[in-house]
Chains A and B, each alone.
Chain A
Amino acid sequence: MSGKPKLYYFDGRGKMESIRWLLAAAGVEFEEEFLETRDQYEKLLQGGSLLFQQVPMVEIDGMKMVQTRAILSYIAAKYNLYGKDLKERAWIDMYVGGTDDLMGFILMFPFLSAEDKEKQRAFIVQKATSRYFPVYEKVLKDHGQDFLVGNNFSWADVHLLEAILMVEEKKSDVLAGFPQLQAFKARISNIPTIKKFLEPGSQRKPVPDDKYVETVRRVLRMYYDVKAN
């Protein structure tokens, strides 16, 4: 037993990617077990490892943690990325809630029909540029600090960078009207742990492809008929 956290998920982004980002940002090495067959998943279920029969599942500190938000909150707190007090935590939670909603629109993207993908792409860009990015742009402009909350690197910064990069994959110039976010992106990307995660060979997963979609559908027997927002 290595003592490292162990992640159980598909070999792809999905809901596990934010967890990979946060562990990496915290400088925590982790192991991964990839679900490739229905049998593997059923074995996990029968073994009682999945509290609500779902992945992500992360073995950490003697717990088999499920529920993405619970896992992320635990990691953030453990590695001091959750603010210094209840109020800072509240702001981090609010900001993460926003980027989570934004990334939620992208999460189901690979499962859409080609026609729905175009509709969803426009939807994602519209929400990013009119609802979410302006908020973070203003926060950074108003306090002039490097990080979103409390002048300290936190989960909110990691999550926002992840969201920015994901939206840029859908529209490469999406940060054109957001100078603060451009500077933020450059700054956070240069943090050593994050820089490392952004390099080839890291545990960061690529943009989901058809193989990923097929694997998820086959293993979970779900998500055959996903609609755009």
Chain B
Amino acid sequence: MSGKPRLTYLNGRGRMESIRWLLAAAGVEFEEVYLETKEQYDKLIKDGFLLFQQVPLVEIDGMKMVQTRAIMSYIAGKYNLHGKDLKERALIDMYVEGISDLMQMILMFPFSPPDAKEKNLESIKDRATNRYFPVFEKVLKQHGQDFLVGNKFSWADVQLMEAILAVEEKVPAVLSGFPQLQVFKTKMSNIPTIKKFLQPGSPRKPPPDAHYVETVLKVFKK
């Protein structure tokens, strides 16, 4: 047993990607088990690994953790990425939850029916540029600091960075109206742990493709 956290999920982004980002940002090495067949998944359930019969699953510190938010809160808390007090934690939570709503739209996108894809893409662009990015642009402009909360690198910064890159993959010029976010993106990219995660060969997963969608549907078929 290596003592490293062990992630069980499909070999793709989905709900596990934010967890990979956070562990990587915290400089924590981890192992991964990839679900490729329904049989593997059914066995995990039968063996009692999945509290609510769902992945992500992260084995960490003797716990079989499920529920993405619970897992990320734990990692953030453990590695000092959750603010210095309750109020900072509240701000980080608010920002992370907001970004997570945007990420949810991107998560579901590959599974949209073909005739809804264009509409959904428009929604993602609209929400990013009119609801979410303006908030963080303003936060950074107002305090003039490098990081979103408490002048210190936190979970909120990692989550925003992930979201910016994910939206850019769909809407390449999305940051054109957001100078603060452009600077933020550059700064985050240069943080050593994040820089490493952004390099080829890291545990970062590529954008979901048809094969990924097919695997998801196959593994979780009822």
A residues in contact (CB < 8 Å) with B = 51-53, 61, 63, 65-70, 73-74, 77-78, 86-87, 89-91, 93-94, 96-98, 101, 131-132, 135
A70 & B74 in contact (Cβ 8 Å cutoff):
no
A61 with B87: CB separation less than 8 A: yes
Q: Contact: B93 with A69, CB < 8 Å?
A: yes
B89 at the A interface (CB under 8 A): yes
Q: Which of B94-102, B111-119, B147-155, B173-181 is the contact stretch? A: B94-102
Nearest to A68 among chain B residues (CB) is B97
> How many Å from the CB of B15 to the closest CB on chain A?
12
Say how far A56's CB is from chain B's closest CB, in angstroms. Answer: 11
A-B pairs with lowest CB-CB distance, top 3: A97-B67, A93-B70, A70-B93
Question: 30 pairs across A/B with beta carbons < 8 Å?
Answer: A52-B101, A53-B131, A61-B87, A63-B87, A63-B90, A65-B90, A65-B94, A67-B94, A67-B98, A70-B94, A70-B97, A74-B90, A77-B86, A77-B89, A78-B86, A89-B73, A89-B74, A89-B77, A90-B70, A90-B74, A91-B63, A93-B67, A93-B70, A94-B70, A97-B67, A97-B68, A98-B51, A131-B52, A131-B53, A135-B51
Known: A67-B98, A74-B90, A86-B74. A93 touches B52 (CB 8 A): no
Secondary structure type dominating chain A contacts: helix
Contact B97 A67 (CB under 8 A): yes
B70 touches A97 (CB 8 A): yes
Q: Does B211 sit within 8 A of A, measured CB to CB? A: no
Interface of B, secondary structure class, is helix
Q: Is B191 an interface residue (CB 8 A)?
A: no
B124: interface (CB < 8 Å): no
A78-B61 Cα distance, complex, nearest whole Å: 26
Q: Which residues of the other chain, B, contact A93 by a CB distance below 8 angstroms?
A: 67, 69-70, 73-74
Specify which chain B residues have a CB less than 8 angstroms from the CB of A69 in the assembled complex.
69, 93, 97
B33 within 8 A of partner (CB): no
Q: How distant is the Cα of A200 from the Cα of B78 in the complex, in angstroms?
A: 43
Judge if B109 is at the interface, Cβ distance under 8 Å: no
Chain B nearest CB: distance from A135 CB in Å? 6
Q: Once the chains bind, are B89 and A74 in contact (CB under 8 Å)?
A: yes
| Known interface pairs A86-B77, A90-B74, A93-B69; A52-B132 also in contact (CB < 8 Å) | yes
Least Cβ distance of A106 to chain B in Å? 16
A102: min CB distance to chain B, Å: 9
Q: Smallest CB-CB separation from B63: which chain A residue?
A: A90
Give the complex CA separation of A143 and B80 in angstroms. 31
B55-82 at interface with A (beta carbon < 8 Å): 61, 63, 65-70, 73-74, 77-78
Question: Known contacts A67-B98, A101-B52: does B63 contact A87 (CB below 8 Å)?
Answer: yes
Contact mask B17-59 → A, CB, 8 Å, 1/0?
Answer: 0000000000000000000000000000000000111000000
Q: B105 interface residue, CB < 8 Å from A?
A: no
Q: Are A98 and B67 in contact (CB under 8 A)?
A: yes
Q: Are B65 and A94 in contact, with the CB atoms below 8 A? A: yes
Q: Are A135 and B52 in contact (CB under 8 A)?
A: yes
Interfacial chain A residues near B74, Cβ < 8 Å: 86, 89-90, 93
Q: Is B135 an interface residue (CB 8 A)?
A: yes
Chain B residues with Cβ under 8 A from A94's Cβ? 51, 65-67, 70
- Shortest A224–chain B CB gap in Å is 15
Expressed in whole angstroms, the minimum distance between the Cβ of B8 and any Cβ of chain A is 15
8 additional A-B residue pairs with CB within 8 Å, beyond A52-B98, A90-B73, A96-B70: A51-B135, A52-B132, A67-B93, A73-B93, A74-B86, A89-B77, A90-B65, A101-B52
Q: Which of A51, A89, A101 has most B Cβ within 10 Å?
A: A51
Separation of A181 and B123 alpha carbons in the complex (Å): 42
Residue of B nearest to A63 (CB): B90
Bound-complex Cα distance A89 to B52 (A)? 18
